[in-house]
Chains A and B, each alone.
Chain A
Amino acid sequence: MRYLASRLLQMLLVLWVVATLLFLMFRLMPADPTSAFIDPTFTMEQQEQMRAAFGLDKPLWQQYLIYFANLARGEFGQSFFQQRPVLEILLSALPNTLVLTVSALLLAYLFGVLAGAWLAWKRGSRVEAAAVPAVLTVRAAPEFWLGMILLAVFGFGLGWFPSGGANSAGARFDSELARILSLDFLAHMALPCLTLALYLQGLPLLLMRSTMLEVMQEDYVTMARMKGLPESRIVLRHAARNALLPVVTAFALGLGATVGGNVVVESVFSWPGLGRVLVTAVAASDYPLAQGAFLLITVVLVVMNFIADLLYSVLDPRVTHGARG
């Protein structure tokens, strides 16, 4: 419990620091500080309303307190260009990002773990000698470039998949859930998901391979061999289970890269998610929207890290979080 509490505290600390950094960045920019929330195109009435809501005529430290009070209530201001509340825009983009990220992660880790275990089993063979540099090479490729190639080949060239967006134009759905479960959505998600997964699979694969090699030398594996258990049973039941732990740790560490990778992949496929909202907002100097999108991306990352931590403690009973030295 103490461990959980300290992790929770650290989560809040990261969020606080990021929020403070954003606050300072927008207030200390050379331009007019009110430009962070007020666009010249706003009506007088809107301008007054924003000034009051964010305390823009008050001293900096009061603005800081108001800023946090607003954040806590989910008040991010008004988008300059879409003339809608920032929160509304963010919440409509969030499901797209979450579904894409989680599917890509599952796909990448499922494939990576299985292929890694298989390569460890095939140790010293030609397949293994060719596979390791190949995996390294795919890992070195920029995600957006992988995406561009997949898009050119399967989207434009062969015409198997739609070339962008999350749904066909004009498609109507009864609910958000029906939209995400529709075939149309799946067809749109296939290429971005594959791109992200291709980029992500390297880490679990290489890690699984090397920990499997280590575990296969352990006494209990030798013992299982001596008992005459079939090789498949040894690999799956005895070795793989224990080799999984470092992979779960890496899962947490890799999340940061995933959330970053989202930004470019969403841009390549015009996927209406948080990353694309951030990119278009920054490009258009839509400050409130950019600020909100960055904060929400940070929240997603921090929460996923926390979940990965929980998962780890469930998987490894040896980790007793109460007593850490």
Chain B
Amino acid sequence: MNRLEKLIVLDQRFLFTLTSYFLILAIYINLNALKSPAIGAVVFVLYFLINGIFLGHAFFDKEEAFFRLMFGVLSLIMLLGFVGWVVMMIYNLDATESALVLFITATLSSLLNGRMKHKNAT
């Protein structure tokens, strides 16, 4: 678990950020064409794992690994909720807008993780 977390947090060449974007694309295609809950469950877990770890590292790096992940996932839920709430208030939350919410959240998570990584390096 720790090794996986380190790998994700390092995000070399934005591999995991790009994976997140790919997952959003998969969610969008699944939602419009395949409509498979099995695919949905897999991408949901992966999306939450990557971005939860990003946020856990960005804000709760001093906690133990398990609690870091829990806080990361909870803050991801909060971020998703907040961005979703704003987008919904502006217009609505159809398939495209939902993908947009996931994209904004993934980008913010990656940026925050990158900022923390940079902070640790200097």
Note whether A and B form a binding pair. no
Q: List residues of B whose CB falls within 8 A of some A CB.
A: none
Q: Interface residues, chain A, CB within 8 Å of chain B?
A: none
